[in-house]
Chain A
Amino acid sequence: MEKKTPLYQTHVDAGGKIVEFGGYLMPVQYPTGVIAEHMAVRTKAGLFDVSHMAELTLEGPAAVENLQRLVTADISKMTDGQVKYAMFCNENGGIVDDLVIYRRAADRYLLVVNAGNHDKDAAWVERHVSGDVEYRDISDAVAQLALQGPASDVILRRICEESGIPAKYYHFCEDSLLRLPGGREIRAIVSQTGYTGEFGYEIYCRAEDAVDLWNALLAVGADQGLIPCGLGARDTLRLEAGMPLYGHEMDEGISPKEAGLPCKLDGKDFIGRDAIIARGAPKIRRVGLEVTGRGIVREHCDLYAPDGRRIGWISSGTYCPFLKKSVAMGYVNVEEAVEGAKLEADVRGRRIEAEIVPLPFYKIQR
């Protein structure tokens, strides 16, 4: 039985095309369509309901030492108000999930994990925490909205006071005051983070405030071109920005090193560290590909070298509306992972040419 976010009816009323994703019924697009929604984020602003993501908390004197053991990143040097990207790994050095970690205080952390891995991650964390730390799953109490695009700052400032707006990327404000049209005030965590490669914010509010916040943002953002955007655009945007997605670029068999993702191997021990080291130098590497032939190259397509050897596979691929080209990410044998290398993808029996290019495909100046 799929779950619904607090905004489900809002999406239905707005004409959202509802699909199942990560155990939730979510809008893949609105009548505007994926391309218009993608372009809104790149040129103006888009609003996403990402309440399907799961929020877990670790609090107590032993929070840091537990987190250090659970994740690939070094938590010990985080400051209050800082956000860090990290991964959970299994005993074989493969990735259990990727997540972001919010340090609210030295002994209070918020973890935001993928909806599709909610149950797996919750069980994994519960199994591995010990000592003086309290673990809670607060997902049902929390809603999350993502406001992304060059106009997001102007829009947010219309309802959020200055002191509640984080000034730096991967930082957040705890307890920001948001004054909605009509006078209602709500409190939220506001972070300068996102999954689009564009400037923007993610806002964590109480589930019961989500609808009012959503409507408020759309109202005050209308003259800036703000429109609601679905999961279809979320995927084309993150792929255009070269961002990995669990279940595609990462899974329980792929290690952070193969995925080209950071992990701190010396100075701290974490679950899976020894296995990652034991795997040695990666034999496969994640690469970015630009399709030079005609068509879209999608996940699971095989990749071939010009001499006909199968050398890898595609993990994600789509047509990027802003760059107006088809791009993909995939894995190839490390000796083939050379920028400029020309490969062929097998797309339903047809060979389409692609070329390895650096990641990301699209990046803004921060």
Chain B
Amino acid sequence: MKFPAELKYTRTHEWVKMETETDALVGISDFAQDQLGDLVFVNLPVVGDTVTAGETLCDVESVKAVSDVISPVSGTVAAVNEDLLDAPEKLNEDPYGAWIARIEKVSATEELLDAAAYEAVTHEEA
């Protein structure tokens, strides 16, 4: 199970990379993809949408269930990773490379954990 040290994480299993002070790249963690199983659909957010920290950013579907991805930050969706439309399995294969959305004008964040603290959270849940 991977927990890259340079990223921040939420208790709801998303990762965040602050590319600048106000631009964030968001995805789901290795623990999340492992729990979800084979992902077959990603319902991406829409560029231009406003998102709020702690609320649903978009959802992803495995064969068995649909799961919400919670936005770690508040801001505006600047870009979405369209590769995921045809290849949702990239979220399973490369969860930290297969970003879901870039959020700009970040104004607030959820509680963000560092890698060690997040890893501890995953041990509680497993």
Which residues of A are in contact with B by a Cβ distance under 8 Å?
28-29, 33-36, 232, 236, 294-296, 298, 318-319, 321, 348
Cα separation A34 to B59 with both chains bound (whole Å): 19
Q: Which of B11-19, B35-43, B71-79, B117-125 contacts A (4 or more CB under 8 A)?
A: B35-43
**Complex contact A232–B64 (CB within 8 A):** yes
Chain B residue at minimal CB-CB distance from A324: B40
Cα separation A204 to B125 with both chains bound (whole Å): 37
**Complex contact B37–A232 (CB within 8 A):** yes
**A232 contacts which chain B residues (CB < 8 A)?**
37, 63-64
Chain A residue at minimal CB-CB distance from B40: A319
- Known A35-B38, A296-B40; contact A319-B66, beta-carbon cutoff 8 A: no
Within 8 A of A (CB), among B38-77: 38, 40-41, 43, 59, 61-64, 66
24 A-B residue pairs with CB within 8 Å: A28-B64, A29-B37, A33-B38, A34-B38, A34-B64, A35-B38, A35-B40, A35-B63, A36-B38, A232-B37, A232-B63, A232-B64, A236-B63, A294-B43, A295-B41, A295-B43, A295-B61, A296-B63, A296-B66, A298-B66, A319-B40, A319-B41, A321-B38, A321-B40
Cα separation A10 to B96 with both chains bound (whole Å): 33
Instruction: Looking at the assembled complex, report how far the CB atom of B60 sits from the nearest CB atom of chain A, in whole angstroms.
Output: 11
**A236 contacts which chain B residues (CB < 8 A)?**
63
Q: Which of A294, A295, A319 is in CB contact (< 8 Å) with B63?
A: A319
Cα separation A295 to B42 with both chains bound (whole Å): 8
**A296 contacts which chain B residues (CB < 8 A)?**
40-41, 61, 63, 66
DSSP class of A's interface residues: helix, strand, loop or mixed? mixed
Cα separation A111 to B59 with both chains bound (whole Å): 43
- Known A28-B64, A34-B64, A232-B64; contact A294-B37, beta-carbon cutoff 8 A: no
Instruction: Looking at the assembled complex, report how far the CB atom of B1 sits from the nearest CB atom of chain A, in whole angstroms.
Output: 13
Cα separation A143 to B61 with both chains bound (whole Å): 34
**B37 contacts which chain A residues (CB < 8 A)?**
29, 33-34, 232
Q: Which of B43, B59, B63 is in CB contact (< 8 Å) with A318?
A: B63
Point out which of B40, B41, B59, B61 has the most chain A C-beta atoms below 10 A from its C-beta.
B40
Instruction: Looking at the assembled complex, report how far the CB atom of B3 sits from the nearest CB atom of chain A, in whole angstroms.
Output: 19
Cα separation A296 to B59 with both chains bound (whole Å): 12
Instruction: Looking at the assembled complex, report how far the CB atom of B107 sits from the nearest CB atom of chain A, in whole angstroms.
Output: 27
Chain B residue at minimal CB-CB distance from A231: B64
Within 8 A of A (CB), among B16-33: none
**A295 contacts which chain B residues (CB < 8 A)?**
41, 43, 61
Chain A residue at minimal CB-CB distance from B65: A298
Q: Which of B41, B62, B66 is in CB contact (< 8 Å) with A348?
A: B66
Cα separation A232 to B43 with both chains bound (whole Å): 22
Instruction: Looking at the assembled complex, report how far the CB atom of B119 sits from the nearest CB atom of chain A, in whole angstroms.
Output: 20
Chain B residue at minimal CB-CB distance from A233: B63
Instruction: Looking at the assembled complex, report how far the CB atom of A9 sits from the nearest CB atom of chain B, in whole angstroms.
Output: 19
Instruction: Looking at the assembled complex, report how far the CB atom of A17 sits from the nearest CB atom of chain B, in whole angstroms.
Output: 8
Instruction: Looking at the assembled complex, report how far the CB atom of B100 sits from the nearest CB atom of chain A, in whole angstroms.
Output: 16
- Known A232-B64, A319-B61; contact A294-B38, beta-carbon cutoff 8 A: no
A-B interface, 6 closest residue pairs, ranked by CB to CB distance from nearest: A35-B38, A319-B40, A33-B38, A34-B63, A296-B61, A319-B63
Cα separation A298 to B43 with both chains bound (whole Å): 15
Given A34-B37, A296-B41, A319-B63, 16 more A-B residue pairs with CB atoms under 8 Å apart are A33-B38, A34-B38, A34-B63, A35-B38, A35-B63, A232-B37, A232-B63, A294-B41, A295-B41, A295-B43, A296-B61, A319-B40, A321-B40, A321-B63, A348-B59, A348-B66
Cα separation A351 to B94 with both chains bound (whole Å): 31
